Structure 1
Amino acid sequence: MSRVDDLDPSLVHHMVNTLGWPGLRPLQEEAIEPLLAGEDAILLAPTAGGKTEAACFPLLSKMVAERWTGTSVLYVCPLKALLNNLLPRLETYTGWLGRSAALWHGDIKATGRKKILTGRPDVLLTTPESLEAMLVSANVDHHAFFAGLRAIVVDEVHAFAGDDRGWHLLAVLERLQRIVGQPVQRVGLSATVGNPHELLQWLQGSGAGKRPARVVAPHLAEARPVPNRPSPPPGDIQLDYVGSADNAAKVIAALHRGEKRLVFCESRRLVEELGEKLRAKGVTTFLSHASLSVDERRRAEEAFAEARDCVIVSTSTLELGIDVGDLDRVIQIDAPATVASFLQRLGRTGRRADSSRNCLFLALSEDGLLAAAALLLQWSRGWVEPVVAPPEPRHIVAQQMLALCLQENQVGDQLWHEWWSGLGLFGQPAEPIMRHLVNEGYLDRDGGMLFIGPEAERRFGHRHFMNLTAVFTAAPEFTVLNGLTEIGRTDPSLLTEEVQGARRLLLAGRSWQVTYIDWHRRRCFVEPVDGGGKAKWSGLGFVRATSYELTRAARDVLLGTDPRVRLTGRAENCLAEARERFLEYVHPGGTLIVRRSDHDVRWWTWAGHRANATLAATLAGVTDPAHRINDCWIRLRGDLTPQMWRQTVADAADRLCLPTVHEQALKGLKFSAALPHRLAEATLAARLADLAGAAAVLSEPIRLSTGHDGRT
Structure 2
Amino acid sequence: MSGIDDLEPALVHHIVNTLGWSGLRPLQEEAIAPLIAGDDAILLAPTAGGKTEAAAFPLLSKMVQGRWSGTSVLYVCPLKALLNNLLPRLETYTSWLGRTAALWHGDVTAGVRKRILAARPDVLLTTPESLEAMLVSANVDHMSFFSGLRAVVVDEVHAFAGDDRGWHLLAVLERLQHVVGRPVQRVGLSATVGNPDELLLWLQGSGAGKQPSTVVAPHLSAPKPGTAVSSSASLVDIQLDYVGSVDNAATVIAALHRGEKRLVFCESRRLVEELGEKLRAKGVTTFLSHASLSVDERRRAEQAFAEARDCVIVSTSTLELGIDVGDLDRVIQIDAPTTVASFLQRLGRTGRRPGSLRNCLFLALDESGLLGAAALLLQWSRGWVEPVVAPPEPRHIVAQQLLALCLQEPQVGDELWQERWNNLGPFDRSAEPIVRYLVDNGYLDQDGGLLSIGPEAERRFGHRHFMNLTAVFTSPPQFTVLQGRREIGKTDPSLLTEKINGPRRLLLAGRSWQVTYIDWKRKRCFVEPVDSGGRAKWSGAGSNFGVSFELTRAVREVLLGVNPPVDITPRAEKYLAQAREHFLEEVHPGGTVIIRSPGGYVKWWTWAGHRANATLASTLGEVAVPAQQVNDCWVRLRDDVSSDVWKHMSATAPGNLCLPEVDERAVKGLKFVDALPPRLAESTLARRLADLEGAARVFSEPVRFVVRP
Normalising by the residue count of structure 1, what TM-score does the alignment of the two structures yield?
0.98
Matches within 5 A, 1:305-704: 305-540=306-541, 542-543=543-544, 545-597=546-598, 599-704=600-705
Matches of 1:686 and 1:541 in 2, distance apart? Answer: 16
CA positional deviation for 1:635: 0.6
Unpaired segments ≥5 residues, structure 1: none
Residue 243 of structure 1 aligns with which residue? 244
Matches of 1:148 and 1:338 in 2, distance apart? Answer: 39
Residue 177 of structure 2 aligns with which residue? 177
Conservation of the 8 A alpha-carbon contact between 1:621 and 1:648: no
**1:56 counterpart letter in structure 2:** A
Unpaired segments ≥5 residues, structure 2: none
Specify whether residues 135 and 701 from structure 1 end up closer, same or farther in structure 2 by C-alpha distance, changes over 3 A only. same
CA positional deviation for 1:543: 3.2
Matches of 1:3 and 1:542 in 2, distance apart? Answer: 46
Secondary structure of the 2:235 match is coil
Conservation of the 8 A alpha-carbon contact between 1:598 and 1:638: no
Specify whether residues 488 and 244 from structure 1 end up closer, same or farther in structure 2 by C-alpha distance, changes over 3 A only. same
CA positional deviation for 1:221: 3.9
Secondary structure of the 2:635 match is strand
Secondary structure of the 2:426 match is helix
Conservation of the 8 A alpha-carbon contact between 1:244 and 1:364: yes
CA positional deviation for 1:597: 2.9
CA positional deviation for 1:354: 2.3
Identity of aligned residues (%): 78
Secondary structure of the 1:308 match is coil
Matches of 1:168 and 1:556 in 2, distance apart? Answer: 38
Conservation of the 8 A alpha-carbon contact between 1:552 and 1:606: yes
Worse-matched range after superposition: 613-622 or 541-550: 541-550
Secondary structure of the 2:544 match is coil
Matches of 1:681 and 1:183 in 2, distance apart? Answer: 35
Conservation of the 8 A alpha-carbon contact between 1:45 and 1:219: no
Alignment RMSD (CA, Å): 1.3
Secondary structure of the 1:218 match is coil
Conservation of the 8 A alpha-carbon contact between 2:196 and 2:223: no
Conservation of the 8 A alpha-carbon contact between 2:473 and 2:542: no
State how many pairs are aligned. 704
Matches of 2:143 and 2:303 in 1, distance apart? Answer: 39
Matches of 1:222 and 1:283 in 2, distance apart? Answer: 45
Residue 95 of structure 1 aligns with which residue? 95
Residue 61 of structure 1 aligns with which residue? 61
Specify whether residues 292 and 416 from structure 1 end up closer, same or farther in structure 2 by C-alpha distance, changes over 3 A only. same
Conservation of the 8 A alpha-carbon contact between 1:473 and 1:669: yes
Stretches of 4+ aligned residues off by more than 6 angstroms = none
CA positional deviation for 1:233: 3.6
Residue 258 of structure 2 aligns with which residue? 257
**2:472 counterpart letter in structure 1:** V
CA positional deviation for 1:544: 5.1
Q: Deviations over 1:164-206 (max 9, x none)?
A: 0000000000000000000000000001211010000000001
Secondary structure of the 1:511 match is strand
Matches of 1:176 and 1:21 in 2, distance apart? Answer: 36
CA positional deviation for 1:231: 6.6
Q: Deviations over 1:266-312 (max 9, x none)?
A: 00000000000000000000000000000000000000000000000
Conservation of the 8 A alpha-carbon contact between 1:265 and 1:315: yes
Residue 79 of structure 1 aligns with which residue? 79
Q: Deviations over 1:213-251 (max 9, x none)?
A: 010000424999x9xxx9744200000000000000000
Conservation of the 8 A alpha-carbon contact between 1:396 and 1:671: yes
Matches of 1:636 and 1:160 in 2, distance apart? Answer: 38
Matches of 1:539 and 1:456 in 2, distance apart? Answer: 27
**2:74 counterpart letter in structure 1:** L
Conservation of the 8 A alpha-carbon contact between 1:233 and 1:564: no
Conservation of the 8 A alpha-carbon contact between 1:598 and 1:639: no
Matches of 1:10 and 1:299 in 2, distance apart? Answer: 37
Residue 133 of structure 1 aligns with which residue? 133
**2:640 counterpart letter in structure 1:** D
Q: Deviations over 1:503-535 (max 9, x none)?
A: 000000011110000000000000111111100
Secondary structure of the 2:361 match is strand
CA positional deviation for 1:541: 7.2
Q: Deviations over 1:89-114 (max 9, x none)?
A: 00000000000000000000100000
Secondary structure of the 1:564 match is coil
Secondary structure of the 1:583 match is coil
Matches of 2:704 and 2:223 in 1, distance apart? Answer: 41
Conservation of the 8 A alpha-carbon contact between 1:195 and 1:387: yes
Secondary structure of the 1:42 match is strand
Residue 277 of structure 1 aligns with which residue? 278
Matches within 5 A, 1:164-313: 164-221=164-221, 232-313=233-314
**2:399 counterpart letter in structure 1:** A
Residue 13 of structure 1 aligns with which residue? 13
CA positional deviation for 1:621: 1.7
Worse-matched range after superposition: 588-597 or 542-551: 542-551
Residue 3 of structure 1 aligns with which residue? 3
Secondary structure of the 1:324 match is coil
Secondary structure of the 1:597 match is coil
Q: Do structure 1's residue 146 and structure 2's residue 146 form an aligned pair?
A: yes
Q: Deviations over 1:671-698 (max 9, x none)?
A: 1110000000000000000000000000
Matches of 2:290 and 2:298 in 1, distance apart? Answer: 7
CA positional deviation for 1:48: 0.2
Secondary structure of the 2:442 match is coil
Matches of 2:331 and 2:314 in 1, distance apart? Answer: 10
Normalising by the residue count of structure 2, what TM-score does the alignment of the two structures yield?
0.98
Conservation of the 8 A alpha-carbon contact between 2:232 and 2:381: no
Matches of 1:681 and 1:626 in 2, distance apart? Answer: 16
Residue 114 of structure 1 aligns with which residue? 114
Matches of 1:219 and 1:307 in 2, distance apart? Answer: 36
Conservation of the 8 A alpha-carbon contact between 1:545 and 1:631: yes
Secondary structure of the 1:473 match is coil
Matches of 1:4 and 1:344 in 2, distance apart? Answer: 28
Secondary structure of the 2:597 match is strand
Specify whether residues 339 and 507 from structure 1 end up closer, same or farther in structure 2 by C-alpha distance, changes over 3 A only. same
Matches of 1:400 and 1:285 in 2, distance apart? Answer: 43
Conservation of the 8 A alpha-carbon contact between 1:331 and 1:361: yes
Matches of 1:635 and 1:222 in 2, distance apart? Answer: 42
Matches of 2:213 and 2:403 in 1, distance apart? Answer: 32
Conservation of the 8 A alpha-carbon contact between 1:106 and 1:130: yes
Matches of 1:117 and 1:221 in 2, distance apart? Answer: 44
Matches of 1:119 and 1:484 in 2, distance apart? Answer: 35
CA positional deviation for 1:378: 0.2
Matches of 2:456 and 2:693 in 1, distance apart? Answer: 40
Matches of 1:447 and 1:217 in 2, distance apart? Answer: 52
Matches of 1:221 and 1:238 in 2, distance apart? Answer: 29
